[in-house]
Chains A and B, each alone.
Chain A
Amino acid sequence: MNTSRRKVLKGGGGAAVLGLAMVAGLFRSPGAWAADWNKAAFDTKSLADAVKAMGGVNPVESKDIVITSPDIAENGAVVPFTIASKVPKTESMALLVEKNPNILAANFAIPDGTEPWVNTRVKMGQTSNVIALVKADGKFYYASKEVKVTLGGCGG
């Protein structure tokens, strides 16, 4: 009996299994790294869709949300924003740029004890309305402001 043939078959089978495992590893979705990243919300193009992806409906305009930013941004690649909320029980605050390829730029969860106030910098492709979206006590509120951009920050 030809035993070497048996060995080769066995060995080949093992290599195939290993190969499959490697392929499975390679094709693991990049999103798997960050399980708590709301991909659906970051894929949206409109305020209504973004709110929906965050599990809400019908955001209400509110004067208790303040967006502080330059009215005219010379460089769209770096536009500073401060968003502050006086809505009671603010749970999270998001910054959305209406005319960017995807509307949602950033979302901040505000635990108890943290002031509903954040300051960050985002890119703007062109002159656009910027929206601060606040989730408070399970409901959504927003405020918006137009920021003019003289040089876009998304092209290339």
Chain B
Amino acid sequence: MADPMKIRAAMAGDKVEVKVLMSHEMETGQRKDSKGATIPAWFIQNVTATHNGKTVLSAEWGPAVSKNPFLSFRFAGGKPGDKVVITWTDNKGDKRTDEATVA
């Protein structure tokens, strides 16, 4: 199981600004190890963010997203105390869900 995400959600004007830092290798599949063998690609493919059960962002990622990915976005209709839930799935089927409370 991968390490937990760091999620911050705070009001920015009338919107909720969410910042997420995920812990993932994001191996491209382009690199080779010391023996010259290609290191297989290993990266987050899908990210979904929900607020009160409604999807507020969904993303498809390729291996070009940086290691330990950072993501920030803003949505309307949230208020302090609300929960924001973020889930990612990688190309090996590993999954991680974490949540944060809007500050």
Interface of A is mostly: mixed
> B59-103, CB under 8 A of A: which get 1 and which 0?
111111111011111111100000000000101110000000000
- Which of chain A's residues have a CB closer than 8 A to the CB of B55? 111
Binds B, one of A57-65, A120-128, A143-151: A120-128
- Which of chain B's residues have a CB closer than 8 A to the CB of A80? 70
Number of interface residues of A (CB under 8 A): 40
Q: In the complex the two chains form, is A34's CB within 8 Å of B59's CB?
A: no
Interface of B is mostly: strand
Q: In the complex the two chains form, is A37's CB within 8 Å of B59's CB?
A: no
- A78 to B66, alpha carbons, bound, how many Å? 6
- A34 to B32, alpha carbons, bound, how many Å? 26
Q: In the complex the two chains form, is A34's CB within 8 Å of B62's CB?
A: no
CB A115 to nearest CB in B, in angstroms, measures 4
Q: In the complex the two chains form, is B72's CB within 8 Å of A100's CB?
A: no
Asked whether any CB of chain B lies closer than 8 Å to the CB of A66, the reply is: no
Answer whether A106 and B62 are a contact pair too, CB < 8 Å, given A34-B46, A115-B74, A121-B69: yes
Q: In the complex the two chains form, is A123's CB within 8 Å of B73's CB?
A: no
Q: In the complex the two chains form, is A37's CB within 8 Å of B60's CB?
A: yes
> A34-70, CB under 8 A of B: which get 1 and which 0?
1011100110000000000000000000000000000
Q: In the complex the two chains form, is B92's CB within 8 Å of A119's CB?
A: no
- Please, which residue of chain A has its CB at the minimum distance from the CB of B56? A114
- Please, which residue of chain B has its CB at the minimum distance from the CB of A108? B59
Answer whether A30 and B62 are a contact pair too, CB < 8 Å, given A120-B70, A154-B28: no
- A113 to B51, alpha carbons, bound, how many Å? 11
- Which of chain A's residues have a CB closer than 8 A to the CB of B58? 108-109, 111
Closest 6 CB pairs of A and B: A156-B31, A105-B64, A119-B72, A33-B93, A121-B66, A114-B75
Contact surface of B with A, Cβ cutoff 8 Å = 15, 28, 30-32, 39, 45-46, 54-67, 69-77, 89, 91-93
